[in-house]
Structure 1
Amino acid sequence: MGYSFDLDDVLFLRSAAGHAVVAELSALPLTGKSRLNDVAVARRQVGERFAAAALETAVLRRKAESKLDGGGDWLFTDSALQQATASVVARHRAQRLAGRDVHDVTCSIGADLAAVAGIANRCVGSDLDRVRLHMAGHNLAAAGRDAVLVEADALRPVTRDTVVVADPARRDEGGRRRWNPADLVPPLDELVDVYAGRDLVVKCAPGLDFAAVPDEAEAEVVSLDGQVREAALWFGSLADPTARRRASVLRSDGTAWTVTDAEPDDCPAEDVREWIIDPDGAVVRAGLVRHYAARHGLAQLDPRIAYLTGDEPPPGVRAFRVLEHGRFNEKALRTMLRRHEVGRLEILVRGVDVDPDALRRRLKPKGAQEASVVITRVGDQAVAHLCRAERT
């Protein structure tokens, strides 16, 4: 759950003394093993009252460095940092809001607001959590951004003629993720009703039940560096009128591409070719495997399975060059591994009830070569494909 900050903590942390103390504590190891010593140092530096707040801030800033640009100077709560949008993803989403007046009705510590304020016309941020609002004020200033901050309920509109951005809470008090739109805080259907007729974007967990998404929304699934990060639901003029589902694949190096259900999905099921391609998770989660395959001239190994095959993989993906394949059984696979002198083995499984770790222990691969085996259902059979993974 993390430390529970109060307003006095935030005021201290925003002061020159608080800034200096956190900077000193940030030089400590801040590991589980060093915890007792780190706490003792914090108490000597700042006293009992603010030691926990200062030490927690140092820990959270270290966690934020790989997620948020400039996060090393920000203020967080543990749960707010977990839910905060990675800067690359936040900037991607903000692109549709360029030049608009924007109201982030669940602004929390300001991660999304900082990205939007860089390209929007005017920005308002609101939240019911006064501590997070004060943190947002600090974070926006640290990012060189400007926005009006208001304490307000997301379900009681306080602006007109603005684009509305909402990021409902997706964890309950026990830390479990919320997948059902009705379990979000505030619930998705209430947000849609309150802001009916307004341009609205709602950030959701990628495990959202898309069957519950309103028909008028465009659902976008976003991944970053191969990891699915979020779903965004776009309403009003923000939604693409030609597409209901979109996958956006982002990389930290700035490259990005998208695929939508407005594209052709002519994709045959064929025998394995030279390569096996495992589509990005955003493509799979958005249900756009066939559209992605059609774009790149690929085929499915089986209509029910997300693995694709082709003579040449798309650029920028981790693909698997097929060395040998055959009906899956452990004896045949063990012989295959010996024939190729495989000692280091990656096992990928889809559509077959196989535990990769347990299978690897039973196979006991020995040899100087490294390989991957893709085990998947093809028709009514389980097939093993021995491959060499390559980055294209």
Structure 2
Amino acid sequence: MKARAKFGEFAERMLFTRAGLEQATRLNVATLHAVRMRQAGMTTVSDLGCGIGGDSLAFAGAGLRVSAVDADEVTAAIAAYNLAPFGDDAAVRTGRAEEFMSASRGEIRPARTDSADSSADAAHLRGTDTGAVWLDPARRTTGHSETRRLSASDWSPSLDWCVEVAHRHPTGIKLGPGLDRELIPDDVEAQWVSADGSVVELVLWSGALARDGIRRSALLVADGQTHELTAATDAEDLPVRELGAFVHEPDGAVIRARLIGDAGRMLEAGMLDAQIAYLTGDAAVTSPFVQSFRVRETMPVHAKTINAVLRANDIGRLEIKKRGMDIDPATFRRKLTLKGSQQATLILTRTTAGRVAILADRV
């Protein structure tokens, strides 16, 4: 089920490990990586840290000639099986990313191998103006089932090494969306990607793969559509205002990219609280970059008071959202009586008036 969710019908002929599937890029997101490379004029890509081959599958499918490398022998073998339909256009080798790069000489090269086709691989991997590098450093402990996250200093290859490669070649570096922003170089495009409402990755793009004048991007992928908010820098903050007729919740990618201000200006909205990522306004507008809610009424955050309002509004199905409050929605739900025929959303948060419960309807 999880494999089909990530790879669709391609999952039927693929092999996976538990860890490999969990860490693999969704095919629809990987396809966007491939499209960017093709639009930038790339014809080849070296996928260093290829895992089970999720990104390489999209690269090859887009017509790029792929050289895929992974340090783990089992994982590399699985990637080779998954990429087998592309024949010589998708070669997979076992090795460390550092062994395949020689940044000082400005070329991409394979590690030593006794394979008869090593010379062909070297020609394939050699850097050119139309060759891109895709780096997915290992950010978890090794293993094929349970793994744990590592600190940036323990990644393989290190982030510093990846950034050095990015300064020499058109490069995409796939990272976790929660990366400390202090670690992001000033001269790359940082793109946070949200898929079906979940922020799944941060990609740092360099060279010909980075777009002129763009340093921050929030890319949303859902229901077969994409929407993107871009800027040259973090957006300016919006003023805090009183609760209006609507509450807007920015997508996680917009929050991570610090583009809440730009999203809010589209909606003629302000902030509910300077430290909380909820917007509010009176304009009856929305956008793909937020979830919007029409306010019904507000009340104190007391279960007894909220229950009375729920009964009065005949609410039997309730979505609970919260920000800026130390409340567990699942625990709080057990305090509520839900016996009506209608549905609504309960937003627990802070406003200029203090802690408040907002009964609202999705727009």
Name the TM-score, length of structure 1 as normaliser: 0.76
Residue number in structure 2 paired with 1:382: 355
1:55-80: CA deviation from partner (whole Å, max 9, x where unpaired): xxxxxxx5311111401101222211
Query: Could you report, residue by residue, the CA deviation over 1:38-94 in whole angstroms, capped at 9, with x for unpaired residues?
Result: xxxxxxxxxxxxxxxxxxxxxxxx531111140110122221111110001101122
Opposite residue 368 of structure 1, the aligned amino acid is: S
Number of matched pairs: 327
Conserved? CA contact 2:166–2:172, under 8 Å? no
What residue in structure 1 maps to residue 298 of structure 2?
A: 325
Determine if contact 1:299/1:309 at 8 Å carries over to the other structure: yes
* 2:59 match: 116
The residue that corresponds to 2:252 in the other structure is 281
Whole-angstrom CA distance in 2 between matches of 1:366 and 1:63: 34
5+ unaligned residues in a row in structure 2: which ranges? 102-108, 110-125
Q: Which residue of 2 aligns with 1:160?
A: 127
Shift of 1:286: 1.9
State the match for 2:37 in structure 1. Answer: 97
Give the Å deviation of 1:366: 3.8
Letter in 1 for 2:230: T
1:228 aligns with 2:199: yes
Change in CA separation of 1:298 and 1:262 when aligned onto 2, cut-off 3 Å: farther
Q: Which letter does structure 2 place at the counterpart of 1:93?
A: H
1:68 equivalenced with 2:7 (yes/no): yes
Residues 166 and 207, structure 2, Cα contact 8 Å, conserved in 1: no
- Change in Cα spacing, 1:75 to 1:257, as seen in structure 2 (3 Å) is same
Contact 1:199–1:235 under 8 Å retained in 2: yes
Which residue does 2:284 correspond to in 1?
312
Secondary structure in 2 matching 1:248: strand
In the alignment, the residues of structure 2 paired with residue 378 and residue 331 of structure 1 have an alpha-carbon distance, to the nearest angstrom, of: 21
- Could you list the runs of 5+ residues in structure 1 that have no partner in the other structure? 1-61
1:134 shift after superposition: 2.8
Q: Distance in 1 between matches of 2:362 and 2:87?
A: 43
Asked if 1:139 is matched to 2:108, the reply is no
Equivalent pair of 2:240/2:274 in contact (CA under 8 Å): yes
Change (3 A) 1:315 1:144: farther
- CA-based RMSD: 2.4
Question: 1:185 & 1:300 partners in 2: Cα distance?
Answer: 40
CA contact (8 A) 2:192 2:199 kept: yes
AA matched with 1:363: L
Superposed displacement of residue 222, structure 1: 0.4
Other-structure match for 2:140: 171
Give the aligned residue type for 1:77.
Answer: T
3-state SS of paired residue (1:126): strand
Pair 1:357 & 2:330 matched: yes
Structure with bigger strand share is: 2
**1:211-267: per-residue Cα shift (whole Å, max 9, x none)?**
22222222111011111111111122322342322110001x321111123386463
> How many Å separate the matches in 2 of 1:123 and 1:324?
56
The TM-score with structure 2 as length reference comes to 0.82
